[in-house]
Amino acid sequence: MPHSDLGLLHELRALSILLEERNVTRAAVRFHLSQSSMSRTLQRLRALFADELLVRSGGDYELTPRAREMQRELAQLLPRLESLVAGRGFDPSTATGIVRIVGTDYTTSTLGPHLLPRLLLAAPELEVHIEPRDQDSYADLERGRADIALSVLRPAAPLRWERLFTDDVVCVVDRDHPVRDRFALADYVAARHVVVTLIQREQPMIERWLQTLGHSRTAAVRVAHFSSAFTALPGTALVATIPRRLAELRAATDPRVRLVEAPEGFDAFPYGMVWHTRLESDPMHSWLRDMIRAAAADLTSCRPES
- pLDDT on residue 83: 63
Q: What is the pLDDT of residue 306?
A: 54
CA–CA separation, 65 and 51 (whole Å): 10
How confident is the model at residue 304, as a pLDDT? Answer: 67
| Total-model pTM | 0.72
Name the nearest CA neighbour of 151 among 163, 141, 139, 168: 163
How far is the C-alpha of 260 from the C-alpha of 114, rounded, in Å? 27
CB 12 within 8 A of CB 70: no
Among 274, 119, 134, 106, smallest CA distance to 201 is for 134
> pLDDT by residue for the chain (306 residues), tens digit each?
333 345 677 788 888 888 888 888 888 888 777 888 888 889 989 998 999 999 987 767 899 999 988 888 887 777 767 666 655 567 899 888 888 899 989 999 999 999 999 999 999 988 898 988 766 778 888 877 889 999 988 888 889 999 999 999 999 999 999 999 999 999 999 999 999 998 777 888 899 999 999 999 999 999 999 999 999 999 999 999 999 999 999 999 999 999 999 999 988 999 999 999 888 888 889 999 999 999 999 999 887 675
C-alpha distances (whole Å) from 148 to each of 66, 141, 257 are 27, 7, 34
